[in-house]
Amino acid sequence: MNFAKINDISIHFNYLKNNENKPTIVFSNSLGTDFRIWQKCVDDLAKDYSVLLYDKRGHGLSGLGQTPYIIDNHVNDLIALMDKLEISNALLVGLSVGGLIVQGVYHSRPDLVCGLVLCDTAAKIGNETMWNDRIEIARNGGLEALLEANMQRWFSPNFHKNNQIELRGYEAMFSRTPLEGYIGTGTAIRDADFTSKASSISVPTTCVVGEYDGATNPELVEGTAKLIPGSKFEVIKNAGHIPCAEQPKEIIQIIREMIAII
């Protein structure tokens, strides 16, 4: 386990160095998860590329810090971590709020980014009422009160039918997320909006979404792809909100294709 003092907290990360002649792949995770969601992809990609994984504040083994957050808290954490590890010109891969984070990194520090893979995310996710309702449910009933609805959004019907043991693990990951980390990040997502900046993205970008995503549906993700000049849009069959867990081979292929052109 590796930890770094980043801004006001300790950030848990794993930096797997390999081919320094190719861009480092930096992964940023979704709400209520830690960096283990990328493991199936990392097992393949780390054979050929350097990879950075980290737990954002309020998640996994990273510190909580002062809550609630704004998206810039998460963005500045990743920028500081990349600077500390002397990583630049990287391919940033972000899932859900992780996608918002990597968009924010690009808009703040384009020198750090040579490409973007935006998974199951958008320039703006949800609306104020939706997030306020979800935050209120968590406040009153804890994350257990959101568990079933979240799992339905996260995974396809096929996964629920055939991967019960793995599903239990993801339920544990979600329910063990610090409550204030979840609420704090939910607040950050509620208030984040990169819509007006999306057209300024000039690095190669692929927007990808699971066909059964119940959190950021294909129409929402495609809408963001249309805002980014020259971006690609792909739908992954038989996947929900976390295709890196359900269909890792598809995500691996998208990442490898992206690295081949940057």
Mean pLDDT by 10 residues, the chain (262 residues): 96 94 96 98 97 98 98 98 98 98 98 98 98 98 98 97 97 98 98 98 98 98 98 98 98 97 92
Q: What is the DSSP letter of 202?
A: -
What's the rounded Cα separation, in Å, for the pair 89 and 112? 5
- Going by C-beta distance under 8 Å and a sequence separation of 6 or more, which residues neighbour residue 234? 206, 207, 208, 209, 254
Question: 10 Å Cβ neighbour count for 168?
Answer: 11
Put the strands of the sheet holding 2-6 in their side by side order.
2-6, 9-16, 51-54, 25-28, 90-95, 113-119, 205-210, 232-236
- Domain containing residue 30: 2-261
DSSP of 204-251: -EEEEEETT-SSS-HHHHHHHHHHSTT-EEEEETT--S-HHHH-HHHH
Tell how strand 51-54 and strand 90-95 pair up: unpaired
- Going by C-beta distance under 8 Å and a sequence separation of 6 or more, which residues neighbour residue 87? 24, 26, 50, 52, 112
Kindly report the CATH number assigned to the domain that includes residue 30: 3.40.50.1820
Long-range contacts of 150-154 (CB under 8 A, 24+ apart): 150/32, 150/174, 152/214, 153/213, 153/214, 153/215, 153/240, 153/241, 154/214, 154/215, 154/240, 154/241, 154/242
Q: pLDDT value at position 145?
A: 98
Q: Which residue has the tokens 């059964």?
A: 212
Number of separate domains in the chain: 1
pTM for the whole thing?
A: 0.98
Max distance between CA atoms of the chain, in angstroms, equals 50
Q: Which residues pair with 11 in a beta bridge?
A: 4
Q: pLDDT value at position 219?
A: 98
- Going by C-beta distance under 8 Å and a sequence separation of 6 or more, which residues neighbour residue 260? none
Q: pLDDT value at position 20?
A: 83
Tokens coding 88 = 């630049």
Q: pLDDT value at position 1?
A: 87
Q: pLDDT value at position 149?
A: 97
Q: pLDDT value at position 116?
A: 98
